[in-house]
A and B are shown apart, each in its own frame.
Chain A
C-alpha cells in the first residue's frame, strides 16, 4: 500500500491538481432487505460500495471490467455487473447480493443446488454464478441446456466447474431430475453463433 501511495505522490501531473474535498451525493439503497442512507462520491462503483464500505464482501471483484461476472448482483431483480455501475446511479434501487439470498439458516435453492452438485472448486466466482443463475431463472428465457449455457456465459469459472454449474442451475430451472442431454451439450441455440 505504501508503495502505491509513493507512486501517486511522485506523479507531477496529479500533484498539480488542487485537492478539492470530494463531493458526496446522498443516496438511499435497500440492500438485502435493509435500508441504507449513504453519502458516496460519484466515482464509487456499486461493487466497491458493497465491499469496501458496507463489508458485504461476498460479492467478488474479479476483472473489474465486466468480463468475468464475479461481481454479479441483482438490482430490482435483474442481474447486472456491479463493477460497471456507479452507486449514485442506483439511488432508490433494491439490491440483492449473495448474502441476501438465504432465508435465515435456510439456503436459497440455487445455493443448495451448487453445494449438492459440487459446482465450484476455489469458490471465487461462485457468488456471481449463483446471483447470475437466480437472475437467469427470473428472466425465464432458458428452455434448453444450450440456452442455459449461453445465458450463463457472462460468468467465467477459471477452475472449469462448468459441467457441475450447468447441472446445479439446470436442477433448479428444470427440476431435480435434470440431466444435460449429450446431444444438447453441443447444440447451438443463439442465432448467429458459429456452428461447431
Chain B
C-alpha cells in the first residue's frame, strides 16, 4: 500500500477540524504524486477504501479514523421513524429488531450484499459512499473519467456487461454497487450530514448523482462534510415490500439488476395507494421513476399493471452491447419484485 498518515477522532467536532487542517498538511508533505482524489479521507469500516488504496486507485495522504465517534446507535426518531447511526455496522443494522420488524425491505437488501465478514465491518455511512466496481475504474493502468476526468471511458466500447442502461452519460456508464442504497431510495431515507457550516439533511434521491460531465463526483456530500446518520421515515412498507437481486452467482456477487419494491395497498378495495420502485445495477445511482410509480396509484395490484409500469421505467433504457440483456432483465425483475411485494407471485 502507498504510505499515508493516520489520525483518530473522538468526536464529530474533532473529525471536522481534522479536515480543515488538511491543506496545511498537504503543503507540508509536498504535492500529491498520483491521482486527483481527495488527500484526506475518513475511514470507518474501510472495506472499500483500503481495497481502492491497495489498487492504486485512491491515494489518501491522511486517513482520519472515525470509529471512535458516538455514531453507532440505532434508535427511534421523534417523527416516528428510525435513526441509523452512520457507524452502525451493516450486519447490526440488518439484524436490528426494529429494522427487521418495520423495514424488512432494508434488512433484505443489506443481507443480499457482500459477505458476513464484510457486513460485520462495513458501516452505514460507508455503504453510501462506496465506489463503482467498474473494471476500468479499478484498473489504474487504463483511462477512466471517474478516476482521471477527461482521460476517456474504455467501458463504453469495451467490456460493459455490468454497466448502466439508464441515466448514463457519454463520459461514464458506471453503476452504483450498493444494495442497501436501493432500499434506502425506495424508503425515501434522509442522509444526515455535519459540516463546517453546521448540520444539513439530504433527501436520498439528491444524495447520489448521475455522472453527466463530472463522473468523478459520486455524491452531493462536500469534501469537508461527514455523514452522521440515516433517518428512515415512519412508513416502512412492512406489509408489502420485496428486494429482488439478480446476479451471476447465487451469493456474494454484485447485482446485475436489483429491485426494491414497496407498495401500500388498500385492503378493502385492493387498490394501490402508494408505490415505490427503485432499481440497482442499472444506473450511476439507485434509479427511481416517479411518473412510472404514479401510474400504479389507484390500480389493482395485478401483473398487467406491473408490466405497464416496468415498460415505463425502461422506456429510455439504452445498452452498450454486452449489457443489452439488462433491459429485458430489469423489466422482468420489476414485475417479479412487485408481485412478491404484494404476495401474488406465481411460482
Shortest Cβ distance from B138 into A: residue: A65
- Contacts A66-B51, A84-B47: A154 and B2 contacting too (C-beta < 8 A)? no
Shortest Cβ distance from A41 into B: residue: B3
- Partner of B250 from the list A18, A42, A196 (CB cut-off 8 Å) is A196
Q: Which residues of the partner chain B approach A88 to less than 8 Å between Cβ atoms? A: 6, 65
Shortest Cβ distance from B182 into A: residue: A192
Please tell me if the beta carbons of B245 and A65 are within 8 angstroms of each other in the complex. no
The bracket for how many chain A residues form the interface is 35 or more
Question: Which segment of A75-83, A111-119, A166-174, A175-183 sits at the interface?
Answer: A75-83
Interface positions, chain A 11-29, Cβ under 8 Å from B, are: 13-14, 16-18, 22-23, 25
Please tell me if the beta carbons of A190 and B108 are within 8 angstroms of each other in the complex. yes
The docked-state distance in angstroms from the alpha carbon of A14 to that of B59 is 13
- Partner of B117 from the list A13, A45, A72, A194 (CB cut-off 8 Å) is A72
Interface string of B40-61 (1 = CB under 8 A from A): 0001001100110111000000
The docked-state distance in angstroms from the alpha carbon of A9 to that of B294 is 62
Please tell me if the beta carbons of B43 and A43 are within 8 angstroms of each other in the complex. no
B34 within 8 A of A: yes
Q: Which residues of the partner chain B approach A194 to less than 8 Å between Cβ atoms? A: 244-247, 250
B220 within 8 A of A: no
Closest chain-A Cβ to B118's Cβ sits at a distance in Å of 6
- Partner of B46 from the list A16, A85, A135 (CB cut-off 8 Å) is A85
Please tell me if the beta carbons of A139 and B116 are within 8 angstroms of each other in the complex. yes
Q: Which residues of the partner chain A approach B115 to less than 8 Å between Cβ atoms? A: 66, 69, 153-155
Please tell me if the beta carbons of A84 and B51 are within 8 angstroms of each other in the complex. yes
Please tell me if the beta carbons of A132 and B116 are within 8 angstroms of each other in the complex. yes
B95 within 8 A of A: yes
A191 within 8 A of B: yes
Q: Which residues of the partner chain A approach B111 to less than 8 Å between Cβ atoms? A: 190-192
Q: Which residues of the partner chain B approach A154 to less than 8 Å between Cβ atoms? A: 114-118, 252
Q: How many residues does chain B have at the interface if contact means C-beta atoms less than 8 Å apart?
A: 45
Closest chain-B Cβ to A196's Cβ sits at a distance in Å of 7
B33 within 8 A of A: yes
The docked-state distance in angstroms from the alpha carbon of A88 to that of B68 is 13
Report whether over half of chain B's contact residues are helix, strand or loop; otherwise say mixed: mixed
Please tell me if the beta carbons of B243 and A89 are within 8 angstroms of each other in the complex. no
Shortest Cβ distance from A89 into B: residue: B65
Q: Which residues of the partner chain B approach A66 to less than 8 Å between Cβ atoms? A: 47, 51, 115, 117-118
- Contacts A43-B4, A86-B50, A194-B246: A81 and B108 contacting too (C-beta < 8 A)? no
Closest chain-B Cβ to A158's Cβ sits at a distance in Å of 14
Q: Which residues of the partner chain B approach A25 to less than 8 Å between Cβ atoms? A: 6
Please tell me if the beta carbons of B47 and A81 are within 8 angstroms of each other in the complex. yes
Please tell me if the beta carbons of A135 and B116 are within 8 angstroms of each other in the complex. yes
Q: Which residues of the partner chain A approach B251 to less than 8 Å between Cβ atoms? A: 149-150, 153, 190, 193
Interface string of B307-339 (1 = CB under 8 A from A): 000000000000000000000000000000000
B109 within 8 A of A: yes
The docked-state distance in angstroms from the alpha carbon of A132 to that of B47 is 17
- Contacts A23-B5, A153-B252: A45 and B50 contacting too (C-beta < 8 A)? yes
A141 within 8 A of B: yes
Interface positions, chain A 129-158, Cβ under 8 Å from B, are: 132, 135-136, 139, 141, 149-151, 153-155
Please tell me if the beta carbons of B6 and A81 are within 8 angstroms of each other in the complex. no
Closest chain-B Cβ to A169's Cβ sits at a distance in Å of 12
The docked-state distance in angstroms from the alpha carbon of A151 to that of B119 is 11
Interface string of B249-267 (1 = CB under 8 A from A): 0111000001000000000
Some 12 contacts from A to B, beta carbons below 8 A apart, are A22-B3, A42-B3, A42-B63, A43-B3, A66-B115, A66-B117, A80-B117, A81-B118, A136-B116, A139-B91, A192-B109, A192-B111
**Other A-B pairs, 5, CB within 8 Å; known A69-B117, A135-B120, A192-B243:** A86-B46, A89-B43, A136-B116, A192-B242, A192-B244
Interface residues of A (CB under 8 A from B): 13-14, 16-18, 22-23, 25, 41-43, 45, 64-66, 69, 72, 78-81, 84-86, 88-89, 132, 135-136, 139, 141, 149-151, 153-155, 188, 190-194, 196
Interface residues of B (CB under 8 A from A): 1-6, 30, 33-34, 43, 46-47, 50-51, 53-55, 63, 65, 67, 91, 95, 104, 108-109, 111-112, 114-118, 120-121, 179, 242-247, 250-252, 258
A-B pairs, top 8 by smallest CB distance, nearest first, are A154-B115, A42-B6, A191-B108, A192-B112, A153-B251, A192-B245, A192-B243, A153-B252
